[in-house]
Structure formats: structure tokens, C-alpha cells
Amino acid sequence: PLVPMRLLLDHAAENSYGLAAFNVNNMEQIQAIMEAARETESPVIVQASRGARSYSQDNYLRHLMLAAAELYPGIPMVMHQDHGNSPDTCKSAIENGFTSVMMDGSLKADGKTPADYAYNVQVTREVTQMAHAMGVSVEGELGCLGSLASGEGEQEDGHGATGVLSHDQLLTDPDEAERFVNDTKVDALAVAIGTSHGAYKFTAAPTGEVLAMDRIEEIHRRLPNCHLVMHGSSSVPQELQDVINKYGGKLKQTWGVPVEEIQRGIKHGVRKINVDTDNRLAITGAIRKVFAETPEKFDPRDYLKPARDAMKQVCIDRMVAFGQAGQA
């Protein structure tokens, strides 16, 4: 059944595991997650960005999620708004059946400009008041994802705006995190620790200089009862990069967030781990392989099925690694 995210995060905290939150835009991605959940007996968080909602249309998305809940009655499932940019976006998500919303007030409503603390508290508090009254969970974000760690000057939007803040200034400040959670009453807090969205996170295997896992430990010491969220947490496995490049793709060599670092985070309060890019890579690699090896094929099922299977395998791997397997 569809449940509020708070329920799953509380259970994860009590039992010391983490939950992957996978992004979806279409039926095959939802099917991949649900089949992985069934095989591993995992509770799941399925999330849709604003872009996903506009690509798939709210009505299609809502009915796909309802179909998933109907087909897998034994699996606790959360339908989460990823990176809501305003209280209005969160409100329309709730009206569409989402059981959890992220109010990302770390950025202004344009989704690009870093916002100040007062703005973030104001919009986030507005959302917690509205959402909690309806039994819907809320994730907030403090700090900025992105920029210098990627070596590409990418800001949170991933479109290469040059960072104006230093690496340290972008990271979540533990003092501010404490105030923010008390001021807003969020159920979960997304923290900035040097990761960024997309495939190009790090130009080499990340060290503690660029991937600040120690921040998580410090924030967890201050807020032991707050559920922490890691964004930009795809691991960008070498094998997935290789498949794409072997079959005609052109990815530059890149590094993501190692699964062991995420496991370390889970020991220190991380309960939700956002993963989109790894699934995108798996899907793209599988489709490229079919196109390269059997160019005569033109039935979409001939490549969408392998794509769905490839995503399902990534989901299974993360569910097992994060410890959510066996918890449904």
C-alpha cells in the first residue's frame, strides 16, 4: 500500500538500514523498481521530479503509482515529490496522491539561485504545516548540492553555472541544521556533503576532501533523531559506463559516490538515498547494446524489456547494499 514516508524512515532508523529513493518518469521504471522490491522483499520510495511530472503528466503518473500499489499489496510504497520548488508544487503533488513531498528551499523557486536561511525556513514551514495536517511527510534541504567537487563548475541544476560559493560554503552547516529542523519540523533533512546530480560528480575516486562524510557524522551527533537524506548518490559504476561506451556512447570517465561511503552514512543517520543517474546509465547501456547488436529490430519491446531488466538489477543491488532488502 501507499504509506507516508515517515513510517518507512522510522522503521529504517529503528532497524539501522537505508532506503533507496529511485526517480521515475515512465511505466518501465516503475515496473523495474516494483519487481526488484518483490524479489528482495523491500519497502520502496518511488520519486518524481517536477520534470518527471511534466514529462509523464500527473494523471498518467498517479495511475501508474496506484497500479503499482494494487499489484504489490504486500510492499509498503512511498510516492515522493523530489525537489519541490515551491509550496504550490508540493500542494499539487499532495492533491495527486503523493504521500511525501520535498520542499527544496535551499534554492529560490527558479530552482537555481541559492536562497537564504529565512526564505528556506519560511517556505519549508508552510509545507510542513499543510502536509502534516494531511498525513503527508516532508523532506527539507539545507546547503547546496554541486559545484566545485564536479570539477565542472556545475550548480545544483547540473547545467554548468559557475559556482560562486566555495566548496565549504556549499556544505550543510551543522549548527544551522539543528536550527532548521527545530524551526521547520521536517521529517527528513537533505544535507549537502559535496555530491552533485548527474554522472559527473568527481574527477577521480572521491577522498574525504571532496566527499564530506564527516559532516554527516557531525549532523547526526547533533540531531540523532532526524532522518538524513543523501542526494546525488548514484555510484556511477565503471561497468555501466563501459557498456554505454562499448556500444557507441560517449561518456567521459567519471566517478560517483561509492556504495561503501553510503553504507558509512547509513551507520550515521542516513535513511534515504537518492538514485537516478545509475538507472539512467543502465537503461541507456541496455538499449544501445540491442541497437548495436541487432540493428534490424524495431519493436520497442525488444529494447525496453532489456532496459527494464537492467534497471531492475541496479535497484536490487542498491536495495541489498542499503539493507532495505528483507524489510517489507
Residue of 62, 80, 125, 197 interacting with ligand 13P (CB under 6 A) = 197
Query: What is the C-alpha to C-alpha distance for residues 96 and 49, in angstroms, rounded to an integer?
Result: 13
Helix (H/G/I), strand (E/B), else coil: 105 = coil
Residue of 82, 183, 278, 317 with catalytic role? 82
- Region of 44-52, 66-74, 176-184, 309-317 interacting with ligand G3H (CB under 6 A): 44-52
In Å, what is the CA distance from 316 to each residue of 23, 60, 85, 236?
15, 25, 30, 15
Q: Pick the stretch among 45-53, 160-168, 217-225, 303-311 that binds ligand G3H (CB under 6 A).
A: 45-53
Interface pick for ligand 13P out of 137, 241, 274, 324 (rule CB under 6 A) = 274
Residues comprising the chain, all counted: 328
Q: Under 8 Å CB-to-CB from 227, ≥6 apart: which residues?
A: 9, 10, 12, 13, 187, 188, 189, 269, 271, 272
Q: Judged by CB, which is closer to ligand 13P: 1, or 51?
A: 51
Joined together, the cell numbers standing for residue 262 give 553510503
Q: Does 141 bind ligand G3H (CB under 6 A)?
A: no
Sign of CA dihedral 315, 316, 321, 324: positive
187 given a catalytic annotation: no
Which of 158/174 has CB closer to ligand G3H? 158
Nearest to 204 by CA among 259, 255, 252: 255
Taking CA atoms, 262 is separated from 21, 159, 276, in Å, by 13, 25, 15
- The partner in contact with residue 237, picked from Na ion, Zn ion, ligand 13P, none with C-beta cut-offs of 5 to 8 angstroms by kind, is none
Closest distance to ligand 13P from the beta carbon of 83 (Å): 6
Contact with ligand G3H (CB under 6 A): which of 51, 153, 160, 300?
51
Query: Do 245 and 288 form a contact (C-beta atoms < 8 A)?
Result: no
Question: Taking CB within 5 to 8 Å according to partner kind, which of ligand G3H, Zn ion, ligand 13P, none is near residue 233?
Answer: ligand 13P
Indicate the residue among 149 and 325 with the shorter CB distance to ligand G3H: 149
Site for ligand 13P contains 275 (CB under 6 A): yes
Which grid coordinates are listed for 206?
572521491
Quick check: 227 binds ligand 13P (CB under 6 A)? no
Identify which of residues 51 and 248 has a Cβ nearer to ligand G3H in the complex. Answer: 51
Dmax over CA atoms of the chain, in Å, equals 60
**Residue ranges at the known binding site for Zn(2+):** 83, 104, 141, 197, 231
Distance CA 71, CA 67 (A): 6
327 touching ligand 13P, by CB under 6 A: no
Note whether 80 and 131 are within 8 A (CB).
Answer: no
Q: In the numeric block, which cell numbers belong to residue 116?
A: 537564504
Residues 184-203 that bind ligand G3H (CB under 6 A): 197
The residue ranges that bind ligand 13P (CB under 6 A) are: 23, 82-83, 197-198, 231-234, 274-277
- Residues belonging to the active site: 82
The residue ranges that bind ligand G3H (CB under 6 A) are: 23, 49, 51-52, 82-83, 197, 276
